[in-house]
Structure 1
Amino acid sequence: MSTHARPLADRLAATSDAQLEELLRLRAVPADVDWDDFFDAAEALLESGSIERALVALTRTEAQLLRAAAQGKADAAAVSALASLALVDGEGKVQPPVAALVMAQPDVPPVVGADAASASATSAARAAERAFTTIGSLADLVLAARTTPLVLVSTGALSATEKRRFTDIGDLNDLRELAEIAGLARAHDRELRVTDLADDWLASSFPERWSHTVAAFRHALPRGVRAAAGWVPISEWEGAHPWDASWPARAVRWRELATRLGLMAADGTEPEWTAVLRNGGEVDTSSLESLLPTEVDRLFLQNDLTAIAPGPLQPALDTRLRSMTEHESAVQASSYRFTADSISRALADGETAHSIVQFLSEVSLTGLPQPLEYLVSQTAARHGLVRVRPDETDGTVVSSTDLHLLDAIEVDRNLRPMGLIRSGAHLVTRVGAETVAWALSDARYPATLVDRDGVMVATSRRRAAPSAPVEPVSYGPLIARLRAQQGPDSDAAWLDRELEAAVRARALVLVEVAMPDGTSREMTLEASGIGGGRLRGRDRAADVERTLPVRSIRSVRVLES
């Protein structure tokens, strides 16, 4: 048992619940840990594994302070900031178990202190273009996940199928990470789903999208690279957590994300808009916007069923246009293609032939081409040919005026999992109506979901993730359990604990015993048992078995294990 656990246990017992919770959180203690009292807590926090985990989380400044304190070269007042991590005692001195592990860590290199170099006009322009491309690709990912959540494998990574699906929008891992940092998507039930923030973000302009994303990026930065409300120069990020072996690779990832967002130029210099953010100021996009093309609100509709935007299309228009087209290119002059499937998808989402024609007429610089108008009207006419409605038993009824179409659906191998069977002039199944409607649409049948009264219902595959993060772990029950065992006689409790540990280890102990005449006597015993308020052990000097009342023992010290 560590001789340093007792004073730490006393300090833990004397702290407030809020301070204790902060310590447990900083030391990453599991909320369900099986500690019974503050002695358990102190011993656990002084274990080498627990100390090493705390050292890994230290920033460069904290590591420098702790190393100097372990060498006796630091001011106690400066080191006292580490008391919240239980790495120093009440006087700001480093705990001996901590000091041994600190001195085994590599030296902490000093901070160079050089400020970030300003980017040239060319580098800043390229950084702005990269930021614009990244936000556009991020929008592509969010739009796709809003329609159909992205599949994750058991490790939490995106599946190979999803990676192949998004080969044209850049590094999918970077985009997925940015989406989660910005709160636009979150892993849930082995799917990457959008959150409630996604709709507002998609409807925003590029400056608003970028501002939201970089503000979230700044907030998410690790402690070691934060500086007040901003961050230290990116060139210093590599050494931010000097005793964390995994940090260099993580620092590279953060640098890559910063570059993707245009916060750092490819040559490592810093654009004008980054300096404001780094120094903790409000997001200012004016200098960034001056290097980007103006968003447009009109497009060219062509006879080949394509739409060409002569520049970056306003996000709200782009989002709606994508709901009824296949997006073919993500360059500044975006291209969209209308197909029967894309029009059917829009109709299933709640659009009508009239609303589609009206929208396209308003944004077109070339009018509405006849082939496109014909495609919309024909698809809309065919769209309601197969009607899918729930029945009274939560099953589904599929009906159509085209009996040959029902026959085709009944024998379609791709639809066998739906369990569709003939019932008079209809097909019935126990599967839910919305699931059946999407299965029929995927199989290219003109299916429409209606309610029990025959009124069309817009369908959506969107499965949103919770918009708020999971509540932080509560240490309330653990703290309450520790407080419940906090008695007035901590000396007696600690003595019992020392004796029990000595008996378990069959240790040789030096005990100080109070004699009836008021004097004290020291005995060297090989502890063998404790119970009924008595300690049993062999007296090495007299070579006899002794039994001592625990209440008469004033102190105990382990001589050997």
Structure 2
Amino acid sequence: MPATDESALALAAQLRALSDAELSALLGAREVRGASIKDFFDLADALLDPDSIQLALGRLDRSALVTLATLSDSDIPVTAQDAAALVTARGAASAAVAAHLAAAARMALVTRADDRYAVPTAVAQQLKGWPALGLPTLDELQATPASAALVPVSQTEVRVTDAGSAEHAFATSTSIVELISELQHESARELARGGVALPDSKRLAASMGVDIERVPELLDIANRAGLVALDSGRWMPTSASADWLSGSSGQRWARLASAWLERLPADIRVILGHRAHAVWGDQLQEYVDWLFPAGGEHMRERVLIYTRDAQLLGITSDHVPSTPGTALITEGPETAAAAMVALFPPEVTQVYLQHDLSIVSPGPLAPAVDARLRTMADVEGRALASTYRVSTSSIYRAMAVGETVQSIRKFLSGISLTGIPQPLEYLIAEAGNRYGLVRVAAMDGGRASVRSTEESMMRTLLVDHGISSLGLTRVGDRLISRFDQELVFWSLSEARYPVTAENANGDVIVLKRPTAARAAPAETVDTTASLIERLRLGSSSDPDVTGAAWLLRQLDVAIKGKVTITVTVQLNDGSTTDFQLEPASVAGGRLRALDRKADIERTLPLSKIVSVSSAR
């Protein structure tokens, strides 16, 4: 078996030949921390560390492990065809051997040179030590059958499963509507250690009508779908959320389900794809434990996260794939959405306006109607039949986003099955008369000013503890804040004042609610890019820059490990020849090495050495 240093030598050369994209993928897959890595030899050493190797082996399925373990028994590098023959000789399936070797090379679990593959000594030793870790031997990898038979879904369960999945899907979509609506009123703070601050979590849970433990799960689903995003440490709706809120129930669910499918890792997608018609739950988990024998808690957690969200989205119900869920995995979001819409209760577009200022929907309200109604009424209860309530402050809120008395009356008349009751007519008229009593303008320097024609209103603004954070101070006939117009306007609006925004000429303007600028996590330092840059600077492929340093580093590794290497030397006539040497020392610009084949000591000028590689 080759020596460990020889493996490092071969691996370092392989790593050096990778593109930046390939290096980035490798560093991410192997979870390399690059603080102490200065060149490709350091990287090779890090990748050949036993803990790093075990982590990587945990990402391989049983079939790939059989290929790797079989190849580790070979004393010489072999082609993919030869490796397939070795696997076949052991009685295992060999159809995917080439793909397994390519994947293992991308993970730096094998070295490749001239289309021949070899397993580094450290990887082979780790595999041989598996029994001591309670993991299977090569023979056990081949011989042990799947630990749990897959239980097919019976046709008698389909109706119950689909009814349950539709209920989950509708509830989750509705909860995310409430999440976005609440974040439109007030963003939520993300803690530095991760997770939403407790007061905000309680507020969001109450708004969505769910247990507080469910908040991070629903927030994750909404974030994955690009509907909310972190912006300066605050969770806010994105610009895409407006279109989602006005879409149909089927369109809403399709976006959430599509995001779930798109984020599925390739290995889990294959597993679920093969089991789109089978019970998941414990049977699926036992199968995953068998398929990834070294995957351990890592694989269990990954599968749990995606199957948990599948349950919330109605892709499964009680761990059984639903008709829409099966269609999503096997045919795609469009077919799945059509299947889910058929299970949803029919939407309604008209409501009952009541004398007590409440609004009752006799069924699930069409999203476009619901989205607009929310601008002028507060949601009191969300279910298949929802209730809303109109108030003076809710009418102010509608006017703040551009509604008028006339547009509110026209909309409510159009959706009402009972006309507009007199108390509601009076409320709308009264709110319209008072709206704009408080006006916010922008000043030079980015500050805002507030004015009102009623002196009593000005005094109220000054003593209201609910808006004290605005720091309003009296200057003549105005109140001045150190904050900008948008922040002051929306703060007063949320405090239920009849506030409007105005420009420098005193004309009323409509301000848009702030949304997150992008549906992406906050930027972080790209340590992978920094590491790749450091590797390139330390081991440039340009011989005029660091070619000599690379050569000396290779020779140093070979000398310390007493490794036999192939040294290619340029002769005086311009041709080259190879020597199989065991380097002894480098001094005075010359390599002294033992040629065991000729049983002589050779001294070669470093300037004549073209390349160094592992002995073949």
Displacement of 1:115 in angstroms is 6.5
Cα separation, 1, equivalents of 2:583 and 2:377: 88
* 1:338 equivalent in structure 2: 390
Cα separation, 1, equivalents of 2:21 and 2:47: 18
Displacement of 1:468 in angstroms is 5.6
CA contact (8 A) 2:257 2:333 kept: no
Equivalent of residue 139 in structure 1, options 161, 177, 187: 177
Structure 1 runs of 4+ aligned residues shifted over 6 Å read 469-473, 488-492, 507-512, 522-525
Cα separation, 2, equivalents of 1:28 and 1:348: 49
Q: 1:477 to 1:442 in 2, by over 3 A?
A: same
Equivalent of residue 553 in structure 2, options 490, 493, 497: 497
**1:80 correspondence with 2:101:** yes
CA contact (8 A) 2:438 2:450 kept: yes
RMSD in angstroms over aligned alpha carbons? 3.9
Equivalent of residue 219 in structure 1, options 246, 262, 287: 262
* 1:279 equivalent in structure 2: 330
Displacement of 1:280 in angstroms is 4.2
* 1:89 equivalent in structure 2: 111
Q: 1:230 to 1:509 in 2, by over 3 A?
A: closer
Q: 1:485 to 1:470 in 2, by over 3 A?
A: farther
**For 1:222-371, what aligned pairs fall within 5 Å after superposition?**
222-227=265-270, 230=273, 232-233=275-276, 234=280, 235-236=283-284, 238-239=288-289, 241-244=292-295, 245-266=297-318, 268-284=319-335, 285-371=337-423
**For 1:74-223, what aligned pairs fall within 5 Å after superposition?**
74=87, 77=98, 79-81=100-102, 82-90=104-112, 91-103=116-128, 104=130, 106-107=135-136, 110-111=145-146, 114=150, 116-118=152-154, 119-165=157-203, 166-167=205-206, 168-170=209-211, 171-223=214-266
Give the structure with the higher percent helix. Answer: 2
* 1:44 equivalent in structure 2: 46
* 2:26 equivalent in structure 1: 23
Cα separation, 2, equivalents of 1:428 and 1:282: 52
Equivalent of residue 484 in structure 1, options 533, 540, 544: 540
Displacement of 1:444 in angstroms is 3.8
Displacement of 1:232 in angstroms is 4.3
* 1:543 equivalent in structure 2: none
One-letter code of the match for 1:205?
S
One-letter code of the match for 1:216?
A
Displacement of 1:331 in angstroms is 0.8
One-letter code of the match for 1:342?
S
Equivalent of residue 440 in structure 2, options 388, 404, 409: 388
Displacement of 1:299 in angstroms is 0.6
**1:6 correspondence with 2:9:** yes
* 1:412 equivalent in structure 2: 464
Instruction: Choose 377-386 or 330-339, whichever is displaced more.
Output: 377-386
Q: 1:444 to 1:209 in 2, by over 3 A?
A: closer
* 1:544 equivalent in structure 2: none
Displacement of 1:92 in angstroms is 3.1
One-letter code of the match for 1:93?
A
Unaligned runs of 5+ in 2: 75-85, 88-93, 566-578, 593-602
Cα separation, 2, equivalents of 1:389 and 1:494: 66
Displacement of 1:319 in angstroms is 0.9
What CA deviation, in whole Å up to 9, does each residue of 1:108-140 have, x standing for no partner? Answer: 665457374244312221222221111111221
Work out the number of aligned pairs and report it: 530
Cα separation, 1, equivalents of 2:445 and 2:320: 65
CA contact (8 A) 1:156 1:190 kept: no
Q: 1:207 to 1:116 in 2, by over 3 A?
A: farther
Cα separation, 1, equivalents of 2:10 and 2:159: 60
Cα separation, 2, equivalents of 1:271 and 1:183: 25
CA contact (8 A) 1:36 1:481 kept: no
What CA deviation, in whole Å up to 9, does each residue of 1:226-271 have, x standing for no partner? Answer: 22994644453543654332331332222121111111121x3222
One-letter code of the match for 1:381?
N
One-letter code of the match for 2:307?
R
Displacement of 1:357 in angstroms is 1.2
* 1:516 equivalent in structure 2: none
CA contact (8 A) 1:310 1:333 kept: yes
Instruction: Choose 246-255 or 490-499, whichever is displaced more.
Output: 490-499
**For 1:444-523, what aligned pairs fall within 5 Å after superposition?**
444-467=496-519, 474=529, 477=533, 480-481=536-537, 484-485=540-541, 487=543, 496-497=552-553
CA contact (8 A) 1:218 1:230 kept: no
Cα separation, 2, equivalents of 1:524 and 1:459: 75
Equivalent of residue 62 in structure 1, options 58, 61, 64: 64
Displacement of 1:399 in angstroms is 1.4
Cα separation, 1, equivalents of 2:284 and 2:37: 40
Displacement of 1:367 in angstroms is 0.3
Cα separation, 1, equivalents of 2:105 and 2:583: 37
The alignment partner of 1:399 has SS state of: strand
Cα separation, 2, equivalents of 1:175 and 1:489: 53
Displacement of 1:296 in angstroms is 0.6
Instruction: Choose 175-184 or 94-103, whichever is displaced more.
Output: 94-103
What CA deviation, in whole Å up to 9, does each residue of 1:158-192 have, x standing for no partner? Answer: 22112222241352122112112222222232222
Displacement of 1:489 in angstroms is 12
TM-score (norm 1): 0.82
What CA deviation, in whole Å up to 9, does each residue of 1:90-121 have, x standing for no partner? Answer: 23332221122234362366545737424431
CA contact (8 A) 2:239 2:515 kept: no
The alignment partner of 2:316 has SS state of: coil
CA contact (8 A) 1:414 1:443 kept: yes
One-letter code of the match for 2:30?
R
Q: 1:438 to 1:188 in 2, by over 3 A?
A: closer
Displacement of 1:349 in angstroms is 1.8
TM-score (norm 2): 0.75
